[in-house]
Amino acid sequence: KERKAFGTEICNHQAIAFKLADMYTDIEAARHLVMKAAWDK
């Protein structure tokens, strides 16, 4: 918790990385859902 990179603690960067990973997963799931709906139609 004491180590800093670019003026902020490393843990803050990790939290952002986890949020981005979750957002990417949601976007990919939605994309696949749309593709399946289009394919079934």
Q: How many domains does the chain have?
A: 1
Helices (H), the chain: 10-40
pLDDT in tens, 1-41: 577 778 778 777 888 889 999 999 999 999 999 999 999 98
* β-bridge mates for residue 8, sequence order: 5
Neighbours of 25 (CB within 10 A): 10
In whole angstroms, what is the distance from residue 30 CA to residue 3 CA? 37
- Dig out the tokens for 12 from the structure: 């803050």
**Given this model, what pLDDT does residue 9 score?**
80
Domain span including residue 28: 4-40
**Given this model, what pLDDT does residue 1 score?**
56
Cβ neighbours of residue 39 closer than 8 Å, sequence gap 6 or more: none
Enter the pTM of the model. 0.67
